[in-house]
Amino acid sequence: MSRRWKLVLLGSVLGLLGLGVIVVWLLGYEPPYYRQALQADPGQQSQASQQMVAQALQLTNQVKYDPHWEALFTQEQINGYLAVELPQNHPEVLPPEVKQPRVWITPQGVYVFFRYRTGALNTVIHILVDAYITEDHQVALHLRQVRAGMVPLPMNEVVELISQQASRLDVSLRWAQKDGRPVALIQIPPLRGNRRVVVDSIQLEKGQVLIRGRTLEPQSASPLWPHGSNRQ
Domain boundaries, the chain: 27-131+144-153+190-216
Mean pLDDT of the chain, nearest integer: 82
pLDDT digits (tens, 9 = 90+) for 209-228: 999 999 998 865 455 555 44
Q: Which one is predicted more confidently, 13 or 109?
A: 109
Indicate if the pLDDT at residue 24 is higher than 80: no
Report d(CA 180, CA 214) in Å as an integer: 32
User: Is the distance from CB of 107 to CB of 89 less than 8 angstroms?
Assistant: no
Q: What is the pLDDT of residue 2?
A: 54
Q: What is the pTM of this model?
A: 0.81
pLDDT band at 7 (very low <50, low <70, confident <90, very high): very low
- Contacts with 32 (C-beta within 8 Å, 6 or more apart), sequence order: none
pLDDT digits (tens, 9 = 90+) for 89-136: 998 888 888 999 999 999 999 999 999 888 777 889 899 999 999 988
Would you tell me how many other CB atoms lie within 10 Å of the CB of residue 77? Answer: 22
pLDDT band at 49 (very low <50, low <70, confident <90, very high): very high
